[in-house]
Structure 1
Amino acid sequence: METVWVIINVLVLLMLTGILYWMQKKHFSFTKRVFAGLGLGVLFGAILQFIYSAESDVIAESSQWFNLIGYGYVRLLQMMVIPLIMVSIISAIMNLKGGRNLGKMSGLIIAVLILTTGVAASVGIATTLTFNLSAENIQAGAAEHEQGLLLEEKLGDVGDQTLPQQILEFIPSNPFADMTGERKSSTIAVVIFSAFIGIALLGLDRKQPEQAETFRSMIRALYAVVMRMVTLILRLTPYGILALMAKTIASTDLQVILDLIDFVLASYVALIVMFIIHMILLLLFRYNPMVYIRKALPVLTFAFTSRSSAASIPMSVQTQNKKLGVQEGIANLSASLGATMGQNGCAGIYPAMLAVMIAPTAGIDPTDWTFILTLIVVVMISSFGVAGVGGGATFASLIVLSTMNLPVALAGLLISVEPLIDMGRTALNVNGSMTAGMITGRIMKEVDEEVFKDRNQDIDIMQT
């Protein structure tokens, strides 16, 4: 009988994907289809949990089939991370004539990303202390205990490395191995390798212009192909979100979420506060925050639902360039770097909150200023090389907790609410990278004010 119910559940999911396909054929906007997928997934998941239970065998088996769509979509996103970052970095650098202002541009973007991550860590610390959160008050179930053991296993050799050794790991010794994601720091290593290719190409312009132009043509063609592949995958977003949300809601124990509701609320308070700080920064650099929010909302919505900063790169670049008036090279660089370092949500707020919560279990006073200042610095440094896909926040937390000599296993206590919080963290990550691009564009006077003020701009990457 269970098999019959599983088949029915799968057929209902397919019917819901059919609704989304119908919306696509009727030319509903991408944003509307994403929200429709989100809403249908939540509703379907809630109905499944009401009919069965989170621990039901029917739910477990149905989820296996849901994963074909949900995690199949996630794997396609992960497939494109390295190619996307490589072509974006190389293209951004090679489009700078003669390397004009490359150092200043890169320096400004990285500075904004890392400094705002430090601010985000401070916000996370303050919020955790205000809500009086502590890992000592969280009860661990079997799933949480298993996740804790898994985190300790993932830590591997990282816990035995000093901070200088961890920084040294960013430099690639075998870039082709890093393209396979062999190391935890592979993403930032690919960024560095790609930057060297772009800089070398600029030097080749002066000495061997014909060869340089040939290579430029190859990169332009590769860039076009990669972006087309990304667009094809992004069109699957509503379907992926539908399956992911249905599986997540159906298999999540609501009581566990209620037990951790203080942490969920505190996390979103911290995320909202940091978003407001981003808006204040834009205001200080003479941007109208309301105009920015209206134009950036589709990108932030996509980041929220997809939970992938890297997958948001194409939409981020187009929005910055076509809607907000930021020069294309700056937009490319800020979106790409923002997906690999200085992520305010995943690498800033989250690790800082975990460290403060776990500190009392190790006999450390989380209100001690030495601890707080050290934590902020560690968070800023460790924010380099955090991959912009699912799991980035976990890796950042492992680095921070191990560097601060805190038990990493306790981070597994929050596994039940991870997906719920990760959506908000990812949206903040992407907003931070766009803020870095906007500020850099203003300082370098590379912003088209007419484009920014134009209220008729409506760029939809799904139509390109």
Structure 2
Amino acid sequence: MNNNLIHAIQTNWFSLLVSIVLIGILFVLAKRKVNFGLRVLIALAFGLIAGVFFNSFKFDATSVSTIGTIYVNLVKMLVIPLVFAVVIQSITSISSLGQLRKIGVKTIALFLITTGIAALIGLIVALAFDPGSGIQQAVPKDFKARAVPTFSQVILDLLPSNTINEMAQGKVLPVIIFAIFLAVAIVHISAKKPETVQPFKTFIDSFVQVMFQVTKYVIRLTPYGVYGLVGAMASKYGADTLLPLIKIVAATYVALLLHFIITFSSFVGFGAKVNPIKFFRKAYPTIAVAFTTRSSYATLPINLEVITKRLRVSPKIASFVAPLGATMNMNGCGGVWPAVVAIFVARVYNIPLGISEYILIVLVSMIASIGVAGVPGPASISTTVVLTALGLPIEGLGLVLAIDAIVDMGRTAVNATGTTVCSLLVANSEGEFDRAAFDRDEEDALELNHA
């Protein structure tokens, strides 16, 4: 057994011991009924401090990564069965297909509008920060430009061909489309022979309730998962990774934060007449889980619970908008990020851009966010589309690979929160928002405070 292997085993045991102690502290805080949101923040701080410490002393942090992976896998376990069931339940609860079309148009329009605003904010912030100035780096050797799928391929990928196989592969959008077909068929049959489909509808209703209960179990593990995910990332990259590209990280997070404050607060405050501070406090579990898991799909079960139980949006609206948003709503990945990267790449390669190119960035970002729906790695694909449309070197995307995971936390949090905002707005316009219940400020709706 060589010395490197012995060192890895020893340091992994050390990181495991540290993790056990920190998780034990989080467990004690839960037993003492410490607020769930506070425990998530403490877990994030624990993960960041421990991860940087492990990285600084070259400790193996495999055990920390395993904790985070277990949590993500448990959350992903919920996604396909929950999405399949809630989409059917939501559509079968809408008696009028005309109302369904109206809800769909409103939802997609809000996705496009908020993504366009996000791209505009990203563009303005990137121009102000000028993140590409002073950067002289070679493109990483392992960089491979993502191919932009053709329009026909995108359509084919969206449509289900073998639903069971697509469920096994975790392809959410084909599953949603199959569930829509199934639900519409149930609605048509119900108009003629309701007794024929009633047992199936009863089963779906019961199954959704069971899945919601399972979701609550997994939500209670969030602080421990947050520690594992943040700790693993901090131990992998350390503090030094940020230094050469600190300006693009800063520009991205400033743009994301401005989108939160300006766009989401305005839409919630003026569109739904809801106090933005109260909204963000109630939406906090969605923001925290999206930030740490970096997956809109993994956040979906939690987001459904937040939208229905904390924001008091009817399940009928929530179960339609949220699954669609997990696939198509890309304020962060398809709006802010492509705009910031485009300005960065143009600066690095000394390619001048004008007003027409800036307008093109916003328009292409909006279109690309819908066009790459369901495609793995939507941020890189959307950015590739924008760079191609502007005639910028796609190789420039390789320059930001080192910080992609770091900015992806913020991008995903904005994506998921945008879906939450759109759900509230659609529900408010359709009379499906229980404002009285929301105003009662029932913070324990998800039993998070006592988890």
Q: TM-score range by the shorter chain?
A: 0.7 to 0.9
Distance 1:20 1:377 in 2: 45
Which residues of 2 match residues 80-119 of structure 1 at below 5 A? 80-99=78-97, 101-119=99-117
The Cα of 1:357 is off from its aligned counterpart by: 2.5
Distance 1:218 1:135 in 2: 59
Contact 1:331–1:437 under 8 Å retained in 2: yes
The Cα of 1:402 is off from its aligned counterpart by: 5.2
Determine whether 1:145 maps to 2:144.
Answer: no
Contact 2:249–2:407 under 8 Å retained in 1: yes
Cα deviation per residue 1:60-82 (whole Å; 9 max; x = unaligned)?
xx223322212232233333333
Tell which deviates more after alignment, 218-227 or 165-174: 165-174
Contact 1:318–1:461 under 8 Å retained in 2: no
* Alignment partner, residue 77 of structure 1: 75
Identity %: 30
Determine whether 1:302 maps to 2:300.
Answer: no
Distance 2:387 2:77 in 1: 29
Distance 2:193 2:45 in 1: 55
Cα deviation per residue 1:312-369 (whole Å; 9 max; x = unaligned)?
3333333333333322211222222211112211222112322332346677543341
Cα deviation per residue 1:381-423 (whole Å; 9 max; x = unaligned)?
332354699x443344345445666544432322332333222
Alignment partner for residue 48 of structure 2, among 20, 38, 42? Answer: 42
* Alignment partner, residue 366 of structure 2: 380
The residue type equivalent to 1:378 in the other structure is V
Determine whether 1:454 maps to 2:450.
Answer: no
Contact 2:52–2:239 under 8 Å retained in 1: no
* Alignment partner, residue 130 of structure 2: 132
Normalised by the length of structure 1, the TM-score is 0.85
Alignment partner for residue 440 of structure 1, among 426, 430, 434? Answer: 426
Structure 2 unaligned regions, length at least 5: 1-5
The residue type equivalent to 1:377 in the other structure is L
Distance 2:389 2:78 in 1: 31
* Alignment partner, residue 188 of structure 1: 173
Determine whether 1:8 maps to 2:14.
Answer: yes
The Cα of 1:252 is off from its aligned counterpart by: 1.7
Distance 1:372 1:203 in 2: 47
Structure 1 unaligned regions, length at least 5: none
The Cα of 1:378 is off from its aligned counterpart by: 2.8
Cα deviation per residue 1:85-131 (whole Å; 9 max; x = unaligned)?
22222222122234461111121111101221111112212222222
Cα deviation per residue 1:124-150 (whole Å; 9 max; x = unaligned)?
122222222339825248xx432x23x
* Alignment partner, residue 249 of structure 1: 234
Cα deviation per residue 1:281-323 (whole Å; 9 max; x = unaligned)?
2222222223322322343233323333233333333333333
Contact 2:67–2:228 under 8 Å retained in 1: yes
Tell which deviates more after alignment, 317-326 or 401-410: 401-410
Which residues of 2 match residues 188-207 of structure 1 at below 5 A? 188-207=173-192
The Cα of 1:426 is off from its aligned counterpart by: 1.9
Distance 1:215 1:115 in 2: 37
Contact 1:303–1:427 under 8 Å retained in 2: yes
* Alignment partner, residue 176 of structure 1: 164
Distance 1:87 1:387 in 2: 19
Normalised by the length of structure 2, the TM-score is 0.87
Alignment partner for residue 309 of structure 2, among 322, 325, 337? Answer: 322
Which residues of 2 match residues 343-382 of structure 1 at below 5 A? 343-359=330-346, 365-369=352-356, 371-382=357-368
Q: CA RMSD in A?
A: 2.9
SS in 2 for 1:295: helix
Which residues of 2 match residues 156-171 of structure 1 at below 5 A? 158-159=147-148, 161-163=149-151, 165-167=153-155, 169-171=157-159
The residue type equivalent to 2:106 in the other structure is L
Cα deviation per residue 1:190-217 (whole Å; 9 max; x = unaligned)?
2222222222221121123122212212
SS in 2 for 1:97: coil
How many residue pairs get aligned? The number is: 441
Tell which deviates more after alignment, 447-456 or 194-203: 447-456
Cα deviation per residue 1:238-295 (whole Å; 9 max; x = unaligned)?
2222122222222324233022111111111111221121211222222222332232
Contact 2:313–2:434 under 8 Å retained in 1: yes
The residue type equivalent to 2:53 in the other structure is I
Alignment partner for residue 337 of structure 1, among 317, 324, 349? Answer: 324
Alignment CA distance shift 1:354-1:190 (3 Å): farther
* Alignment partner, residue 393 of structure 1: 379
Distance 2:259 2:238 in 1: 29
Cα deviation per residue 1:139-165 (whole Å; 9 max; x = unaligned)?
248xx432x23xx3xx3xx43x44465
Distance 2:99 2:447 in 1: 29
Alignment CA distance shift 1:409-1:176 (3 Å): farther
Alignment partner for residue 412 of structure 2, among 420, 426, 432? Answer: 426
* Alignment partner, residue 3 of structure 2: none
Contact 2:86–2:208 under 8 Å retained in 1: yes
Distance 2:447 2:299 in 1: 11
SS in 2 for 1:355: helix
* Alignment partner, residue 67 of structure 1: 65
Which residues of 2 match residues 252-271 of structure 1 at below 5 A? 252-271=237-256
Distance 2:141 2:102 in 1: 47
Distance 2:331 2:274 in 1: 20
Distance 1:397 1:74 in 2: 26
* Alignment partner, residue 212 of structure 2: 227
